[in-house]
A = this chain, B = another copy of it.
Amino acid sequence: MEPPTLAPKSSKTGGGAFFMDKQQYLNNLRHSCAHLLAAAVTELWPDTKPTIGPAIENGFYYDFDFSQSLKRALSEEDLPIIEEKMRQLLPSWDHFEKREVSPEEAKEIFKDNPYKLELIDEIVAKNEPITLYKAGNFEDLCRGGHAESPVTEIGALKLLSIAGAYWRGSEKNKMLTRIYGTCFPTQQELDNYLNQLEEAKKKDHRKIGQDLGLFVFSDLVGKGLPLFTAKGATVRRELERFAVDEEIKRGYQHVITPPLAKVDLYKVSGHYPYYKGTMYPPMKIDEEELILRPMTCPHHFMLYKSQMRSYKDLPLKIAEVAQQFRYEKSGELSGLTRVRVFALTDSHIFCIPNQAKQVILEVLDLIDFANSKLGFVKGQDYRYRLSLGDRKEEKKYYKDDAAWDKAENILREVLTEAKAPFYEAPNEAAFYGPKIDVQIKNVSGKEETAFTVQYDFVLPQRFHLKYIDEDGKEKQPIVIHRSSIGAIERTMAFLIEKYGGAFPVWLSPVQVQIIPIADRHQDYGQKVLEQLKSANIKAEIDKRQESMQAKIRDAQNQKIPYMIIVGDREQNENKIAVRTRAGQDLGVSSIEDFLTRINSEIESKA
């Protein structure tokens, strides 16, 4: 078995280096448990081929080739059986025994397992020792990292789920069966973790999105391609219009460019070699090779270059809610968080180098403003990360130490001057310059990079960007790449989880539910509905043959901010009774007073 690896993405964006020792201890425990899983599986279905099984954040997995031993696909119902077998075997696992073998011996031992043979060849090629670890009756190819005594240390274990996974992660290889699990020193800790998982599931935007009918997926349409219902599209549209209108107010030039381009464009930009793996395949049209865009920069550069620019035009801020496409592997897709097409609130600010500081200050101000309107509190829900260049890296680092120093200093100065909460992360920059990452804490407290502000001195050179300076000479601008509220899909996922679906009024797909108490109140209810609609309030009426209580409950479940109840009294007095989704009774008021209240809430995005 390969060495235990933590999933690199999680560890990079995770909480940092807290509890490193405890974490290492848990990794060893879980890696041991992965061995135990392989032992159980091969006891149950002897000709199964185990492949690789590392510890990961919060647990472990092991990938198996079940093709020969199981006449059907493994199902979730098999997990308790495997777990039981693991528990049966555990008492004999009092320690791991290590031995080193020759390549020939190793190949003889694993002669029926082509996956292990491939691993052995790789170890040999690297001139490393081949080690086997045995506990109970089960011996596996492994580099070590185990619990000292599995039987005493693994207090509680649980298998969690099954997924498909290509051998070595490549879709060219065979699809294997991956079993996920976790273990803890005590049952209490396992229970806590499972509770936490359960809670997170309830807050999961995929579940809430389904409950509230915000978006759906379709097998026929394809993976990672969400279809937004009218409700979901309303949230999206409000977010989009908010970003566009606010940016225009702040002097951005909002453009619209096509979501694809010739492959050549990405060869000029230098993106192609770095991003090819996550780009869609090219399409041949007539004599041209077109490709769906993975980023917007080159399109905006073409607009910049479409006319002569003077120093008087700078800074020039070209912005777009730009559709982008990423070839995410199907195993990495997740709700609205990881999709194959998304709309990024993107911008490229072309400026004279000495304008950079002021430009970035203004960008941070916009991000803070937008985040505050979305309800994210600075220093609490999000902070900044200064990602620095990896000067030893050859491929991902554009060799110009002085330029990097200068850019990194500017970013550091800006963050300090803006009194922004931030920390520094070495070796996290993109190839074309250092960047500021906006780190948002999700509903489970895990920090993720939502989007970035990128200082770029490389692409302006690649694209020969120019401006005519005061002295009449051609000079090169630098470019600040930035987002304001990130990718709309991803931001929606954050917001759905943050609010548990109970969006602030301005983002609510239905802002008011009108509830006639009896059939005879429907006409009056309809009149109220039309009055609200003509005032641009998103209102609906519930005309079903249900009790008022049931209608209120359903509106609350749908997280509709306001309910307007109309009965005899309201109808006679031409008034409305108002309740909030939190259950607060706001009493009886005129429609006009209610409109004043809700409009000011919408206006202020409270």
Contacts and interface: CB of A to CB of B under 8 A. Distances in A.
Contact of A229 (B241, B244, B255, B298): B255
Contacts of A261: 220-222, 225
A138 interface: no
Contacts of A290: 222, 280
Interface string A301-325: 0110011000000000010100100
Contacts of A228: 255-257
A285 interface: yes
A223 B290 CA distance: 10
Interface of A: 171, 213, 216, 218, 220-223, 225-230, 232-234, 236-237, 241, 244, 249, 253-262, 264-265, 268, 280-281, 283-288, 290, 292, 298-299, 302-303, 306-307, 318, 320, 323, 327, 329-330, 340-341, 533
Nearest to A233: B256
Contacts of A264: 220
A225 to B, nearest CB: 4
Given A261-B225, A286-B330, A236 B256 contact: yes
The 9 closest A-B pairs by CB, nearest first: A230-B253, A225-B258, A228-B256, A218-B302, A233-B256, A216-B306, A221-B261, A222-B262, A227-B257
A214 to B, nearest CB: 11
B221 A299 contact: yes
A220 B258 CA distance: 12
A230 B258 contact: no
A230 B259 contact: no
A143 to B, nearest CB: 30
Given A222-B288, A281-B284, 10 more contacts: A216-B302, A220-B268, A222-B260, A227-B255, A228-B257, A229-B253, A230-B254, A233-B320, A285-B340, A286-B330
A544 B241 CA distance: 32
B280 A283 contact: yes
B221 A262 contact: yes
Contacts of A226: 258
B285 A229 contact: no
A228 B254 CA distance: 9
A344 to B, nearest CB: 15
Contacts of A327: 285
A347 to B, nearest CB: 12
Contact of A254 (B237, B253, B318, B323): B237
Contact of A302 (B227, B233, B234, B236): B227
Contact of A244 (B237, B268, B287, B533): B237
A281 B282 CA distance: 9
A430 B360 CA distance: 54
Nearest to A268: B220
A519 to B, nearest CB: 15
Nearest to A240: B256
Nearest to A261: B221
A522 to B, nearest CB: 14
Contacts of A268: 220
A55 to B, nearest CB: 26
A309 to B, nearest CB: 13
B216 A230 contact: no
